[in-house]
């Protein structure tokens, strides 16, 4: 078969996954290539862009050290593996998982392997991953290694080799799933007709495996996913897996140990945690017994695990198996435990902690890969073939100084796969990460995995940090697979409700999402009203108009809190452009629109797992609008961009309103929104309507206040174009049917406060309830005519007093809520009675 429009040729002397030695397409690739030919390069490129858009919209990101939130890259050409070959790989992986499990059990148990000299003591005891505090801790059941990933590549002999083992907290399974979801969307019929093995069963196994290790007394075990937080490189995956599996996503500060048990700090109190799926490195998990300087862990966690009150997957200390020096000893251990050679060989490795081996490495450095035995951030493999004479000497000295800290590894020439690169197919070296989980009855391998290919031709180093591109991996069944009952993907809302748990940190973040979203919306509406009047009104000349402008610019300053704004030492009112730009775009300025939007996104990211994909997409759009706005030079141009932001914010508000379950979390979000809406309204009215103005100015201000609070249309329905103050105040403050009125906000706050979980004396109102009740009563009882009264100085004192009181009540409500529900605990500190004689 020829590829026609696709010109592709393999690198001479390198095994290619698609083409055989004669340049013919291998049989199991034929069907797909025919389909691609039908699509043509342009069609395939379109699919690639579609996938890119889909992944970006779903918020699939990878936080590289220097590039947070980098969108996930998917090449639409999958790696194909025939089912015959896969069954060999699978059995090799199962065997390897069992072997590593035996080693892990032994190292934190009898340590027979060391006594029998199958493993050198120095290799284990001298490795940072060997956690002495975790000696003797055992999970229930046969398996200690629960989740495992192996990086595979095809060597020059056409066999699959293991390049390295990931046993600490392997990442990638969630990305593999997200890749698969994207592929089925962009190439649905090709996927269906190719009879690809499904991934769902793997995740069912993961659930079963985690359930099985729960401490015995747990009837309905609670599993949590422990993440280092949104700044971690694979945070997206943590949130995604938690939502997919129906587990609560937690950070160290959400958990506490007491009585030797682990508890989740939820709004309604402490809830028992039985199993932790760990994505925090093991030495960071407990500042008491492991790394003292860790802020990511839970003090007392090791003790809780030691007593068997919590199961941690993988167990603390399992990173010892990631030591590449171990690879040199696996054959001997396999012979000891299994009585045979491993089906999947490891890349040939020499541990420099032994004299002969070190000499070999030093003498052959220019053709080996140098790897540190202990993984530390930023440490990468070094390819001897790329080093000049001086660098080779530098590395020889480095190895000689600390031989036990390095291995030399054979630099295998991996096979290449066709990769889509600028609309063409090009051969790229690739590595397949495969995933294995423990089930009560053995291990299960994910049929497929995460394939990553190098970005540059000839490059052997494939890693996400360096911008490698990912691929789906299709294990082709010989006949259509019976559809297993696929784990229904629960919506995040269902997840939250199902678990009924809102941690105090989550409530805190949701509250601020509500506040910032509303603040951003209110800020934009006011800015729009102001800019519109400044630049578009043909009558905007003359002193009366100036008085109105003055009030509105004051409102901008008050509402955003950007004092002194236009009214500092230099009077900026006559030339407001620069200050307006700053209020809109200066991210470093507290209160600016850009600052508020950033804060919104930060709070939103902290609870990433709770957003539906649609809601998340809207937040991403906002980010895009904000960066677009930075390119604009004239404030009137910003109007258009701000319209789009309003649309996005409204969509976000609508999605939250319509598709978020009314559980504990939503209440906090809505309270944040109500509080902010009320408080912004109070300062808007304070700036615009508490002083009597000339008739024309007052009409202008009434109209602007209605517009800025999004009440203009509602007002006109009843009052046409006559801008009357009493009618305006009635609509904005007192109309209970108007969802933007003050009394409406107060009433909602009252309802929410009544439904908060709390331990209170029977029959007594909670403190927040009292503030809300007073606010809503005061608004219901106020006399409209009194509010419009003007005293001798031209001030509307009654209105001013009401607004001040309301501001106080709403502010107090917020403070009371914060101190009662959001744990602003001091961060932990370590103490040590260190000095002695």
For helices 695-708 and 504-535, what crossing angle results, to 10°?
Answer: 140
Instruction: Report in angstroms how near the CB of residue 288 gets to another protein at its nearest.
Output: 5
Residue 364 engages another protein in binding (rule: CB under 8 A): no
**Cα gap 264→245, rounded to integer Å:** 18
* Pairing assessment for the beta strands 349-351 and 406-410 based on DSSP bridges: antiparallel
Instruction: Report in angstroms how near the CB of residue 256 gets to another protein at its nearest.
Output: 8
Could you give the 3-state DSSP secondary structure of residue 587? Answer: coil
Residue 287 engages another protein in binding (rule: CB under 8 A): yes
Residue 826 engages another protein in binding (rule: CB under 8 A): yes
Q: What are phi and psi of 19, to 5 degrees?
A: -100, 140
Collect all residues with Cβ–Cβ distance below 8 Å to 90 and sequence separation of at least 6: 445, 447
Residue 292 engages another protein in binding (rule: CB under 8 A): yes
**Interface mask (CB under 8 A) for another protein, residues 246-265, using x and -?**
----------xxxxx-----
305 exposure class (CB count in 10 Å sphere: 0-12, 13-18, 19+) = buried
CA nearest neighbour of 114 among 320, 374, 352: 320
Among the residue ranges 37-45, 121-129, 526-534, 547-555, the one whose residues contact another protein (CB under 8 A): 121-129
Tokens of 711: 């009440």
| Comparison of 256 and 562: residue with beta carbon closer to another protein | 256
| Comparison of 254 and 641: residue with beta carbon closer to another protein | 254
* Pairing assessment for the beta strands 248-250 and 223-226 based on DSSP bridges: parallel
Instruction: Report in angstroms how near the CB of residue 391 gets to another protein at its nearest.
Output: 22
Residue 135 engages another protein in binding (rule: CB under 8 A): yes
Instruction: Report in angstroms how near the CB of residue 265 gets to another protein at its nearest.
Output: 12
| Comparison of 193 and 259: residue with beta carbon closer to another protein | 259
Instruction: Report in angstroms how near the CB of residue 313 gets to another protein at its nearest.
Output: 23
Among the residue ranges 190-198, 284-292, 466-474, 643-651, the one whose residues contact another protein (CB under 8 A): 284-292
Element (H, E) at 666: helix 664-689
Determine which residue in the list 5, 303, 410, 466 makes contact with another protein, applying CB under 8 A.
303
Residue 833 engages another protein in binding (rule: CB under 8 A): yes
Determine which residue in the list 68, 69, 71, 126 makes contact with another protein, applying CB under 8 A.
126
Residue 761 engages another protein in binding (rule: CB under 8 A): no
Residue 835 engages another protein in binding (rule: CB under 8 A): yes
Residue 781 engages another protein in binding (rule: CB under 8 A): no
Residue 300 engages another protein in binding (rule: CB under 8 A): yes
Instruction: Report in angstroms how near the CB of residue 310 gets to another protein at its nearest.
Output: 14
CA nearest neighbour of 336 among 168, 155, 112, 39: 112
Residue 270 engages another protein in binding (rule: CB under 8 A): no
35 exposure class (CB count in 10 Å sphere: 0-12, 13-18, 19+) = middle
Residue 122 engages another protein in binding (rule: CB under 8 A): yes
Instruction: Report in angstroms how near the CB of residue 130 gets to another protein at its nearest.
Output: 10
Instruction: Report in angstroms how near the CB of residue 825 gets to another protein at its nearest.
Output: 6
**Cα gap 358→405, rounded to integer Å:** 11
Asked if residue 294 lies in contact with residue 285, where contact means CB atoms within 8 angstroms, the answer is yes
Instruction: Report in angstroms how near the CB of residue 459 gets to another protein at its nearest.
Output: 35
Instruction: Tell me the sheet residues that pair with 349.
Output: 409
**Cα gap 816→805, rounded to integer Å:** 16
For the beta carbon of residue 9, count every other beta carbon within 10 angstroms: 12
How many residues of this chain bind another protein (CB under 8 A)?
Answer: 36
**Cα gap 562→572, rounded to integer Å:** 13
Element (H, E) at 125: helix 121-125
| Comparison of 122 and 466: residue with beta carbon closer to another protein | 122
**Cα gap 268→683, rounded to integer Å:** 34
| Comparison of 53 and 117: residue with beta carbon closer to another protein | 117
Determine which residue in the list 288, 639, 790, 820 makes contact with another protein, applying CB under 8 A.
288
Tokens of 756: 């908060």
Element (H, E) at 224: strand 223-226
Determine which residue in the list 121, 456, 484, 784 makes contact with another protein, applying CB under 8 A.
121
Instruction: Report in angstroms how near the CB of residue 301 gets to another protein at its nearest.
Output: 9
**Cα gap 217→308, rounded to integer Å:** 10
Among the residue ranges 38-46, 119-127, 224-232, 786-794, the one whose residues contact another protein (CB under 8 A): 119-127
For the beta carbon of residue 309, count every other beta carbon within 10 angstroms: 19
Residue 308 engages another protein in binding (rule: CB under 8 A): no
Instruction: Report in angstroms how near the CB of residue 259 gets to another protein at its nearest.
Output: 5
Instruction: Tell me the sheet residues that pair with 443.
Output: 438
CA nearest neighbour of 450 among 698, 177, 762: 177
**Cα gap 69→72, rounded to integer Å:** 9
Residue 307 engages another protein in binding (rule: CB under 8 A): yes
CA nearest neighbour of 499 among 312, 271, 662, 655: 271
**Cα gap 395→362, rounded to integer Å:** 9
Residue 627 engages another protein in binding (rule: CB under 8 A): no
Residue 114 engages another protein in binding (rule: CB under 8 A): yes
Residue 397 engages another protein in binding (rule: CB under 8 A): no
Instruction: Report in angstroms how near the CB of residue 16 gets to another protein at its nearest.
Output: 45
Among the residue ranges 202-210, 297-305, 478-486, 659-667, the one whose residues contact another protein (CB under 8 A): 297-305
Residue 193 engages another protein in binding (rule: CB under 8 A): no
**Cα gap 823→264, rounded to integer Å:** 12
Determine which residue in the list 3, 35, 64, 133 makes contact with another protein, applying CB under 8 A.
133
| Comparison of 503 and 599: residue with beta carbon closer to another protein | 503
Residue 355 engages another protein in binding (rule: CB under 8 A): no
**Cα gap 243→255, rounded to integer Å:** 18
Side-chain-side CA neighbours of 7 within 13 Å: the count stands at 1
> Residue 198 carries which DSSP code?
P
Residue 289 engages another protein in binding (rule: CB under 8 A): yes
Element (H, E) at 70: strand 67-71
Task: Give residue for tokens 């802020």.
Answer: 295
Instruction: Report in angstroms how near the CB of residue 404 gets to another protein at its nearest.
Output: 8
Residue 115 engages another protein in binding (rule: CB under 8 A): yes
Element (H, E) at 429: strand 424-439
Residue 391 engages another protein in binding (rule: CB under 8 A): no
Tokens of 133: 């505090």
Tokens of 252: 């160290």
Determine which residue in the list 28, 306, 371, 608 makes contact with another protein, applying CB under 8 A.
306
Instruction: Report in angstroms how near the CB of residue 402 gets to another protein at its nearest.
Output: 8
Determine which residue in the list 633, 761, 792, 834 makes contact with another protein, applying CB under 8 A.
834
Residue 573 engages another protein in binding (rule: CB under 8 A): no
Among the residue ranges 124-132, 239-247, 270-278, 339-347, the one whose residues contact another protein (CB under 8 A): 124-132
Q: Please give the residue ranges that form the binding site for another protein (CB under 8 A).
A: 114-115, 121-122, 125-126, 132-133, 135, 256-260, 287-289, 292, 299-300, 303, 306-307, 404, 825-826, 828-837
């Amino acid at each position: 078969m020829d590829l026609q429009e696709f010109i592709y040729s393999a690198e001479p002397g390198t095994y290619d996954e698609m083409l055989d030695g004669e340049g013919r397409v291998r049989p199991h690739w034929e069907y797909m290539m025919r389909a691609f030919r039908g699509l043509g390069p342009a069609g395939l490129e379109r699919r690639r862009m579609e996938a890119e858009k889909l992944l970006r919209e779903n918020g699939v990101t990878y936080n590289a050290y220097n590039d947070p939130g980098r969108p996930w890259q998917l090449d639409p050409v999958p790696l194909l593996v025939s089912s015959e070959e896969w069954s060999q790989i699978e059995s090799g992986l199962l065997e390897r998982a069992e072997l590593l499990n035996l080693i892990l059990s032994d190292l934190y148990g009898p340590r027979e392997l060391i006594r029998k000299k199958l493993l050198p003591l120095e290799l284990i005891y001298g490795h940072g991953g060997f956690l002495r505090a975790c000696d003797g801790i055992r999970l229930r059941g046969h398996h200690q290694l629960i989740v495992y990933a192996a990086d595979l590549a095809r060597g020059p002999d056409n066999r699959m080799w293991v390049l390295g083992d990931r046993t600490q907290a392997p990442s990638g399974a969630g990305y593999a799933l997200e890749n698969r979801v994207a592929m089925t969307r962009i190439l649905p019929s090709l996927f269906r007709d190719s009879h690809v093995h499904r991934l769902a069963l793997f995740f069912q196994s993961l659930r079963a495996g985690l359930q099985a290790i729960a401490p015995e007394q747990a009837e309905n075990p609670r599993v949590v996913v422990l993440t280092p937080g949104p700044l971690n490189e694979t945070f997206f995956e943590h949130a995604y897996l938690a939502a997919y599996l129906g587990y609560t996503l937690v950070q160290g500060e959400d958990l506490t140990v007491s009585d030797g048990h682990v508890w989740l700090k939820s709004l309604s109190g402490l809830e028992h945690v039985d199993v932790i799926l760990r994505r925090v490195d093991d030495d960071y998990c407990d500042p008491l017994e492991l790394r003292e300087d860790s802020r990511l862990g839970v003090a007392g966690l090791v003790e809780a695990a030691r007593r068997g009150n919590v199961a941690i997957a993988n167990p603390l200390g399992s990173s010892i198996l990631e030591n590449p020096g171990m690879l040199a000893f696996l054959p001997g251990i396999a012979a000891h435990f299994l009585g045979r050679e491993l089906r999947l060989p490891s890349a040939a490795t020499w541990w420099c902690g032994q004299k002969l081996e070190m000499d070999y490495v030093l003498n052959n450095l220019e053709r080996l890969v140098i790897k540190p035995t202990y993984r530390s951030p930023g440490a990468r493999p070094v390819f001897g073939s790329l080093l000049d004479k001086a660098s080779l000497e530098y590395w020889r000295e480095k190895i000689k100084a600390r031989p036990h800290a390095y291995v030399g590894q054979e630099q295998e020439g991996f096979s290449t796969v066709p990769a889509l690169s600028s609309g063409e197919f090009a051969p790229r070296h690739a590595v397949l990460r495969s995933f294995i989980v423990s089930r009560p009855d053995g291990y299960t391998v994910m049929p497929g995995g995460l394939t990553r290919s190098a970005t540059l031709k000839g490059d052997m180093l494939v890693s996400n940090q360096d911008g490698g591109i990912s691929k789906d991996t299709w294990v082709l069944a010989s006949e259509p697979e019976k559809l297993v009952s696929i784990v229904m993907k629960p919506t995040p809302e269902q997840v939250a409700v199902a678990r009924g748990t809102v941690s105090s940190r989550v409530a805190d973040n949701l509250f601020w999402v509500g506040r910032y979203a509303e603040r951003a919306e209110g800020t934009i509406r006011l800015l729009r009203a102001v800019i519109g009047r400044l630049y578009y009104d043909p009558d905007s000349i003359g002193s009366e108009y100036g008085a109105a402008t003055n009030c509105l610019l004051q409102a901008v300053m008050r509402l955003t809190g950007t004092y002194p704004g236009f009214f500092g030492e230099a009077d900026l009112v006559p030339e407001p452009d620069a200050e307006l730009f700053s209020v809109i775009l200066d991210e470093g300025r507290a209160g600016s629109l850009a600052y508020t939007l950033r804060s919104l996104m930060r709070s939103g990211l902290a609870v990433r797992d709770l957003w539906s994909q649609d809601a998340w997409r809207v937040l991403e759009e906002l980010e895009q609008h904000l960066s677009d706005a930075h390119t604009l030079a004239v404030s009137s141009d910003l109007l258009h961009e701000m319209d789009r932001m309003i649309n996005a914010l409204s969509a976000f508000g609508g999605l939250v309103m319509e598709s978020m379950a009314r559980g504990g979390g939503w209440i906090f979000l809505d309270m944040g929104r109500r509080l902010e809406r009320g408080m912004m309204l109070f300062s808007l009215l304070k700036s615009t309507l508490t002083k009597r103005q000339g008739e024309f100015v007052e009409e202008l201000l009434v109209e602007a206040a209605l517009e800025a609070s999004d009440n203009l249309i509602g007002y006109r329905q009843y009052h046409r174009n006559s801008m009357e103050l009493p009618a305006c105040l009635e609509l904005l403050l007192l109309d209970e049917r108007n969802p933007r009125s003050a009394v409406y906000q107060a009433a909602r706050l009252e309802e929410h406060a009544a439904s908060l979980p709390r331990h209170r004396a029977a029959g007594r109102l909670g403190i927040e309830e009292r503030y809300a009740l007073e606010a809503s009563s005061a608004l219901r009882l106020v006399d409209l005519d009194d509010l419009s009264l003007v005293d001798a100085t031209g001030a509307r004192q009654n209105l001013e007093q009401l607004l001040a009181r309301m501001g106080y009540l709403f502010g107090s409500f917020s403070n009371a809520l914060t101190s009662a529900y959001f744990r602003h605990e001091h961060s932990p500190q370590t103490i040590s009675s260190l000095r002695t004689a």
